[in-house]
Amino acid sequence: MRKIEIVQGILDANEATAEGNRALLDSHRCLTVNIMAAPGAGKTSVILRTMAGLQPDTRIGVIEGDVASTVDAEKVQGAASAVVQINTHGMPESCALVADMIHVALERMPLDELDVVLIENVGNLLCPAEFNLGEHLRVVIASTPEGDDKPVKYAVIYADADAVIINKSDLTPYVDFDMNRFTRAVRNINDRAVFFPMSCKTGEGVAEWVAWLREKRATM
């Protein structure tokens, strides 16, 4: 019996694929946004608002990750230049998108004809935090009915976020959500995230978010 020292990251293969994805997206100048949130926070609504805000001068592709249905893909179908649906049911990873799935999806997209790729991750605040997809921006959507303590409970996903959208701001008067407490909780573990209070219902805050994305695309 002898020992072999290894010290090799189990996620190294995912990281390598993610780097490949990033290089491909860079070469086509496709700003790619990984959108993560709990189920029901409003990922699809934010994507629809984002597309409406960026169009008509921005060409948008959407990768829809979902456990089983094509409901979300159907909703965005009309507005996007290209939509690829990934059903994670039956795949090794059913609770999050991984870099391999994005690699396959990108092969099916006309990247030369796209400026922005929006990735709707599977609704979950734990698993997507572990997987780099090769995206340029990691965005977490919180929604006010979830409560302001989620950054404490799901620290990892918030720690890595480049932007945090606080959706359903129109419901703030009716739910226990203290905006200052929420932003402070994120700031405690993340010194760079940009905050976008938003209501997909009323459209509040959408313009600021869209302007930020435009700037990110322009400077890449």
Partner 1 sequence: MHEYGITESLLKIVEDKAHEAGVTKVSVIRIVVGALTGFVPESIQFYFDTMCKDTVAAGATLEFEELPVSLRCRSCGQLFEPPSREWICPACASPEVTIEGGRELYIKEMEVS
Contact set with partner 1 (CB under 8 A): 1-14, 92-96, 98, 126-127, 129-131, 152, 155-156, 159, 187-189, 191
Nearer to partner 1, 57 or 192 (CB): 192
Q: Answer for the pair 87, 120: CB distance below 8 angstroms, yes or no.
A: no
Question: Least distance to partner 1 from the beta carbon of 135, Å?
Answer: 18
Locate 175 and state its tokens.
Answer: 């739910």
Write b or e for each residue in 127-137: b if 16 or more Cβ atoms lie within 10 A of its Cβ, otherwise e. Answer: bbbebbbbbbb
Question: Least distance to partner 1 from the beta carbon of 183, Å?
Answer: 13
Q: Answer for the pair 64, 73: CB distance below 8 angstroms, yes or no.
A: yes
Nearer to partner 1, 5 or 57 (CB): 5
Question: Least distance to partner 1 from the beta carbon of 123, Å?
Answer: 14
Alpha-helix runs per DSSP H in 160-205: 179-189
Nearer to partner 1, 93 or 208 (CB): 93
Question: Least distance to partner 1 from the beta carbon of 194, Å?
Answer: 17
Nearer to partner 1, 10 or 218 (CB): 10
The Cα 219–Cα 140 span in angstroms is 22
